[in-house]
Amino acid sequence: MPGEFLVSDRRLPADDAPEAEHDAWFASTRRLQPGDEIAATNFATFAFQAKDTLSDADLQKLSRLSNLTDIYLNGCRKLTDTGVASLANLKRVRNLNLSGCPGLTVASANIVSSFDELETLVLLELRWVNDDVLAHLKGKSELKSLLFSHASITDDGIDIIASLSMLERLHLNSCMQITEVGVEKLKNLKGLKYLSMADCSLMRPAAIEALTQMTSLHELDLTGWFGVNDTSLLELAALPHLKRIGVAGCPAVTEQGVERVNKKYPELFVSVLR
């Protein structure tokens, strides 16, 4: 079956937006097949891949939608760097998701440099994401969300992330080359509200000490951290704006430790389940 697009003249609501807003967005969408005519000036500020068969040829047609601001292509197994390169002329892109596209390589990161208004970049399950990829983010002053997992990012790459002063959401799950040195650098992100570093299990105590100084955090996921114990959990719970902390798979956290936090900070949700 050919690839299929969902297009709308409305932007997709944020993940935490009310369900009614998401329903309204879906009601506004229109489905396109690759053979359909696409009028670049008439519609489509959002595009979504609805089938796993989306191809490079489909992306070339998608590239005619000059008003696109949001492109979600996660799980497109047929896409290659050639197809992604055809999107470089879409200068209004604000949100880009290329997660789980195994045919892509580091070359696809080149298009990020073309998007001056980029707010969200999602590159999950892509091991080729490294410090060279992050170099394309220099000067992206509008960036608010970065989501990576299983990436080859090092502490040097964190220097670039830490320079993004507007960043509010950062996801670095299973990025095993980042150490407590990189976590220390994240303290420069004064507006960071959400930080997920699940399964970065080998962090030393200095990483936890750095986290206790990140007072803007609302959510923190340390799933699988060996170094988190009852004492450090209580210290992290004292962060003034923290609403949720994930400590599933932290072997040194006990039921008693969680109960103590629940009693002292009843409005804080401590997640112990994956």
* Radius of gyration (C-alpha) of the chain in whole angstroms: 20
The residue written with tokens 């080729």 in the block is 128
For residue 249, the 8-state DSSP code is T
Beta strand residue intervals within the chain, DSSP E: 5-8, 30-32, 46-49, 70-72, 95-97, 120-123, 145-149, 169-173, 194-196, 219-221, 244-246, 269-271
Within 8 A by CB and 6+ apart from 266, the residues are none
Tell me how far apart the alpha carbons of residues 45 and 107 are, in angstroms, rounded to a whole number.
Answer: 25
Q: Identify the structural domains of the chain with CATH numbers, from first to last.
A: 1-118 (no CATH), 129-274 (3.80.10.10)
Return the amino acid letter for 115: F
pLDDT digits (tens, 9 = 90+) for 120-148: 999 999 999 999 999 999 999 899 999 99
Strands 5-8 and 46-49: antiparallel
Q: What is the mean pLDDT of each run of 10 residues along the chain (274 residues)?
A: 64 78 81 58 52 77 80 86 92 90 93 92 95 94 95 96 96 96 95 96 89 97 95 97 97 96 97 84
pLDDT digits (tens, 9 = 90+) for 93-118: 999 999 989 999 999 999 999 999 99
Length of the chain equals 274
Tell me how far apart the alpha carbons of residues 175 and 126 are, in angstroms, rounded to a whole number.
Answer: 11
Cβ atoms < 10 Å from Cβ of 16: 5
